[in-house]
Amino acid sequence: MKIVITIFAILSLISTQVYAEQITVCGTDKDVQKCVEEASANIITLSEGLHLTSGVHIGSNTTFIVPKNSILKLADDAKLNGQAFGGDANFVIASVGKADKLVENVHLIIDGEVDGNKAIHVYEKGGVEGIDWKWVKNSTISGSGIIHSANGDGIDLDAVHNIKISGVTVRDNGDSGIHFGSPRPIMPSTNNVVMDVTSINNGFRIGKSGFDLSWPNPDGVIYVNCVAIDNYRNFKMEATGGAIYGSTSIDNGKVIEKDDVGGASYAMINNENVTNKNFISVKTKILLNRDIRKLFGMNYHTYLDGLEY
């Protein structure tokens, strides 16, 4: 509990919303990206109704609101990069910094819908994340709305720090509901909290999860009071040091793979302590495989160079 209290104390400093005398309202008749770029205020809200986009970039010191009865949807004719997959995927909303200059103080309030439109934009024609954050710190995603129908992850997080995600639902995304991954070269995420989030029917494209923490992210996230329902796998914790508190895993006959919490320092799911740490971590196995392949002159992923056990 000491870990949780410490992190909550830190995150309370970054979760306060920024207020201003003016709010920029983006109507359905205006290009959303252009509206964001021309905004005179640091709080930007969509109007009610359907907003079509090819993807919206949100920079530092900005609050971006998708209110109730508002839908931000990837347009059928959105101009996407057909070669963009994984860490370089397309998106509906993104904040992307650099390794030496992180985006910060971004607050997304999602009370409406963020729609990745995967019925039109299939993965083979270019990966799409619902929300894509890379090299971001001291920021939040909150609300009572839904991020759905991306062919990739609902929310993809790479090299993010001091992030709080709360209240939203991630649903019907091809890959993970919430995914902590890594850019290239590999850089971890640290000191993040996801709480009161619901993840439903995600991960069935290639076998992903409702909530995860991939191996490059030691101490990457604590999941608190989260609910995973009928995902390909509800929870997967590869990296060491993450934790799950007071969360729920529900299978109505649709889950394919059971929860894997082998990397978690602590896991309380369905009121049961299911902590079951791996004797050898996933990271150690990957680096051992790298070194064996290098020893015998075999091909290996060069982005693993420089990583230590």
Predicted pLDDT of residue 199: 99
- pLDDT the model gives residue 304: 86
Q: What Rg value do the Cα atoms of the chain yield, rounded?
A: 19
In order, the DSSP letters of 233-278 are EEEEE-STT-EEEEEEEE-SS---S--B-TT-SEEEETTEE-----
Q: How many CB atoms lie within 10 A of CB 254?
A: 13
Domain boundaries, the chain: 2-278
Could you tell me which CATH class the domain 2-278 is placed in? mainly beta
pLDDT averaged per 10 residues in sequence order, the chain, 309 residues: 44 43 92 97 98 98 98 96 78 97 99 99 95 98 99 98 99 99 93 99 98 96 99 98 98 98 97 92 88 90 87
DSSP letter at 197 equals -
